[in-house]
Amino acid sequence: MSRTALRICPLCEATCGLTLTIDGTRVTGARGDREDVFSRGFICPKGAAFPALDGDPDRLRVPLVRENGELREATWEEAFDAVAAGIRPVVERHGPHSVGVVLGNPNVHTVAGALYPPLLLGALGTRSVFTASTLDQMPKHVAGGLLYGDAGAIPVPDLDRTAHLLLIGANPLESNGSLCTAPDFPGRLRALRARGGTLTVVDPRRTRTAELADRHLAIRPGADALLLAAMAHVLLEEDLTDLAHLAPHVQGVDELRDAIRDFTPEAVAEACDIDAVTIRALARELAAAPTAAVYGRIGSCTVPHGTLASWLVDVLNILTGNLDRPGGVLFPQAATDRTPRPVGPGRGFALGRWHSRVSNHPEAKGELPISALAEEIDTVTAEGEPIRALVVVAANPVLSAPDGDRLDEALDSLDFMVGVDPYLNETSRHAHVVLPPPPPSQSPHHDFAFNALAVRNQVRYTRPAVPLEPGRMAETEILARLVLAATGGHGTDPAAVDALVIEQTLRKAVGEPHSPVHGRDPRELAAHLTGENGPERRLDMMLRLGPYGDGFGVRPDGLNLDRLLAHPHGIDLGPLRPRLPQRLKTVSGRVELLPRPIADDLPRLREALRERPDGLVLVGRRHLRSNNSWMHNVPALTGGSNRCTLHIHPEDAVRLGVRDGAPVRVKGAGGEVTVPAEVTDRIRPGVVSLPHGWGHDRPGTRLTHASTTPGVNVNQLLDGSRLDPLSGNAVLNGFPVEVTAGG
């Protein structure tokens, strides 16, 4: 007897609705849900492989606890006893910063990851916080923080209405989009072309996305900030700016003009390897387009000038009046966003409120660079205590961050480590306790993070498609118990965590004059909440207090959990709408076009005008059937063109004597790897490419399939010293390597 159940796909940022086929308690099929209000039936090969990923026999079923050096299966009670016994003494003896927390990418794809890590960080009070953000989008947060006063203010391109899209360092045909949640991104790009719009792609590789474009510019890696600065220069010099509706809300245009005066197209052309005529044309086309959106992603963030490039992306959108207007770039409004506050100055955004102990890196958004994790563990300084205990939730930094070999050793030296992870992999194998979450079919889903980055406002929630298997614990409960065990509340009912959050949130809301519940009794409000458990009641509360919410009865047509459950395919909340000036939280209450930290970083960009790499530089690449480091264990998703090979241009191959398919040695500052070459003109000369997330050959893991075709860890080529100084983001693209033929 089979049945079907709906489940939002958690495997990438596109958040497609899936219809799962379920036989007993096993998921046997997945197809796109045609009635999903957002994805309308779209699905990619990863979504289709949901049953295999969900049912992977290597997924851990029960906790593991280290005893006499070996991990053994344990009960949940034993596991949490071990967590409390491992963390509390470290905090008590060495203080809160001696406990580090590492949060990985899947936290933005789970309900648990949205609701509990903030509580863990708050209760621990540690400054040793590291996340995948500093391998990814921290430059966007810093740019948004400085421009708009809110690190969460990231405008997204209005894909379905724009007339002109300039894509910088993004390959949505493989990635399905990022910081721009759009199921069927490829179809939306084709629709843009079909309605007469234009698409330009800037990427050192001729990607599948580039093949779809009107124009592809194979820029020299790392040079995007120069290109974008020159475009802004042209707009200002040729009087092509038109702030339009933004004019009253923007300050600093004249200061910007002065600051970027010397970044002329002629001055940047050689460094970018794009001629000045083309750069001028790009700027003029952007200005002339009826609506336009500039969008930059991984290739513009994970580079030495990532924050400047991210800032300039927004500067171009602002100077052309495309910020906050339909067809341009807009700020989404998610159903679980906080109650919108009144227009007016905010508290602004501060960087570097504290610094890392060893290399003195400034914090950004409360985080330290994950590139500095190993040294914060293995280096003793006079400044303070090293990290002695580590909590790792859904992260695999041994593969995803620079210099995994050093991190391997550092993790081994810890007094205590707990990992929340479904796999025994390159990172979790170092843990003293591994707490495995259930597979996605047994977990609820709501996109707290991605609805705030989506090209259409909409809201969807799916309950677990399959009941929790006996012996399993929901990830929400695992994290609630982890919060308690790590902060001295071990043994307390985990439901108390949610009850406390609800009480505190409602108490605050009733005191806010702009809240729909101002002046009411928090206990009376809490009694209205529905939901089967703590996390559902928290979702209900957030929906009710949110911008579309029922305000606990104030707006009878508004959203709440019951209403959402009555719409299993989701509720469409309409196209993106302008939100300025309400969205601004700067101290001035305006968009601050040339913030001080940015101005102070421009001299470094000026130096880059003169830099020319004389050897090869390496960039990454993604494959549609892969996702970071944890999807190589499913046979259906590996093989074919999804292989860990070094892409190299034919000219470079000839010069270096490299033959297609033959092994090559790649050497970087952090180490070297040997990998098969793939000679292809899809990459520009002077640049080679390796995908990340491979290197599954370490002992002590349980990744049966992945370890048969392990690939190599590209991040071993890095030593962790290359960062974008403003954001602490790792430089993962455009770093120098030496390539030699032979293994």
Ligand X SMILES: Nc1nc2c(c(=O)[nH]1)N[C@H]1C(S)=C(S)[C@@H](COP(=O)(O)OP(=O)(O)OC[C@H]3O[C@@H](n4cnc5c(=O)[nH]c(N)nc54)[C@H](O)[C@@H]3O)O[C@H]1N2
- Judged by CB under 6 A, does residue 15 bind ligand SF4? yes
Rounded (5°) CA angle 34-36-42: 55
The piece of 120-128, 162-170, 480-488, 662-670 that touches ligand X (CB under 6 A) is 162-170
Instruction: Indicate which single residue of 20, 27, 43, 91 sits in contact with ligand SF4 (rule: CB under 6 A).
Output: 43
* The two three-digit tokens of residue 534, written as one number: 């703590």
Residues from 432 through 451 that contact ligand X (CB under 6 A)? 437
Q: Between residues 104 and 145, which has the closer beta carbon with respect to ligand SF4?
A: 104
State the nearest-atom distance from the C-beta of 11 to Mo ion, in Å.
Answer: 13
Give the whole-angstrom CA distance, residue 493 versus residue 507: 22
In the region spanning residues 471 to 510, those forming contacts with ligand SF4, defined by CB under 6 A, are: none
When binding is defined by CB under 6 A, the residue of 7, 20, 27, 46 that contacts ligand SF4 is: 46
In 195-293, which ranges are continuous DSSP H helix? 208-211, 224-237, 253-259, 265-272, 276-288
Partner whose binding site includes residue 104, from ligand SF4, ligand X, Mo ion, none (CB under 5 to 8 Å by kind)? ligand X
By beta-carbon distance, which residue lies closest to Mo ion? Answer: 136
Choice between 298 and 543, CB closer to Mo ion: 298
Instruction: Using CA atoms of 214, 215, 221, 225 in order, give the dihedral in degrees to the nearest 10.
Output: -90
Closest CA to 719 of 670, 671, 673: 670
3-state secondary structure 329-343: EECCCCCCCCCCCCC
Residue type, 227: L
Compute the distance between CA of residue 209 and CA of residue 221 in angstroms, rounded to an integer. 17
**Is position 172 an interface residue for ligand SF4 (rule: CB under 6 A)?**
no
> Per rule CB under 6 A, is residue 16 in the interface with ligand SF4?
yes
Instruction: Identify the residue among 38, 548, 630, 735 touching ligand X (CB under 6 A).
Output: 630
Q: How many residues are given for the chain?
A: 743
Interacting residue with ligand SF4 among 44, 87, 146, 564 (CB under 6 A): 44
Under rule CB under 5 A, which residues in 108-147 are in contact with Mo ion?
136
431 binds, among Mo ion, ligand SF4, ligand X, none (CB under 5 to 8 A by kind): none
Sole window of 173-181, 494-502, 665-673, 695-703 interacting with ligand X (rule: CB under 6 A): 173-181
Task: Provide the 3-class DSSP secondary structure of residue 502.
Answer: helix
- For residue 219, the partner it binds in ligand X, Mo ion, ligand SF4, none, with Cβ less than 5 to 8 A by kind, is ligand X
Q: Which stretch binds ligand SF4 (CB under 6 A): 11-19, 64-72, 231-239, 714-722?
A: 11-19
The answer to whether 395 contacts ligand X (rule: CB under 6 A) is yes
Q: Of 47 and 304, which has the nearer Cβ to ligand SF4?
A: 47
Q: From the list 30, 74, 168, 465, which residue makes contact with ligand X (rule: CB under 6 A)?
A: 168
Pairing mode of beta strands 456-459, 571-575: antiparallel
Per DSSP, the residues of 402-416 read S-HHHHHHHHHT-SE
User: CB of residue 105 vs Mo ion: minimum separation in angstroms?
Assistant: 5
Among 6, 9, 82, 675, binds ligand SF4 (CB under 6 A): 9
- Per-residue tokens: 424: 């025994």
Out of 6, 27, 38, 47, the only residue in the binding site for ligand SF4 (CB under 6 A) is: 47
**Beta carbons within 8 Å of 68's beta carbon, 6+ residues apart:** none
The count of other CB atoms within 10 Å of the CB of residue 77 is 10
For residue 565, the SS3 value is helix
Contact track, ligand X, 397-436, x by CB under 6 A: x--x-------------------xxxx-x-----------
Of 76, 55, 54, 78, the residue nearest 67 (C-alpha): 78
Q: How far is the CB of 163 from ligand X (least distance, A)?
A: 22
Q: Of 368 and 449, which CB lies nearer to ligand SF4 in the complex structure?
A: 449
Q: How far is the CB of 185 from ligand SF4 (least distance, A)?
A: 8
Of these, 147, 283, 411, 619, which contacts ligand X (CB under 6 A)? 619
Residue among 506, 494, 589 nearest 545 (CA): 506
Distances (CA, A) of 141 to 318, 414, 603: 17, 31, 22
Place of tokens 């207090």: 545
Parallel, antiparallel, or unpaired: how do β-strands 671-679 and 646-648 relate?
parallel
Give bridge partners of residue 168 from the DSSP assignment.
Answer: 202, 296
Q: Which is nearer to Mo ion, 129 or 274 (CB)?
A: 129
Q: Does 205 bind ligand X (CB under 6 A)?
A: yes
Integer-rounded Cα Rg, in Å, for the chain is 25
Q: Does 159 bind ligand SF4 (CB under 6 A)?
A: no
| Binding flag, residue 732, ligand X (CB under 6 A) | yes
125 SS3 class:
coil
Number of residues that bind ligand X (CB under 6 A): 63
Does 175 contact ligand X by CB under 6 A? yes
- Under the binding rule (CB under 6 A), the answer on residue 219 touching ligand X is yes
Q: Closest separation between CB of residue 137 and ligand SF4, Å?
A: 17
Q: Answer yes or no: are the C-beta atoms of 84 and 52 closer than 8 Å.
A: no
Beta partners for 683? 205
Q: Rounded distance, CA 191 to CA 161, Å?
A: 10
Question: If binding means CB under 6 A, how many residues of this protein chain bind ligand SF4?
Answer: 12
Dist. CA 421–CA 436, nearest whole Å:
5
DSSP annotation of 218 reads: -
159 contacts 187 by C-beta, under 8 angstroms: no
Question: Which residues of the shown chain bind Mo ion in the complex (CB under 5 A)?
Answer: 136
Question: Which residues of the shown chain bind ligand X in the complex (CB under 6 A)?
Answer: 12-13, 104-106, 110, 132, 135-136, 168-172, 174-176, 178, 202-205, 207, 219, 221-222, 224, 297-300, 303, 393-397, 400, 420-423, 425, 437, 475, 619-624, 626-630, 692-693, 714-715, 732-734
Question: Which residues of the shown chain bind ligand SF4 in the complex (CB under 6 A)?
Answer: 9, 11-12, 14-16, 43-44, 46-47, 176, 183
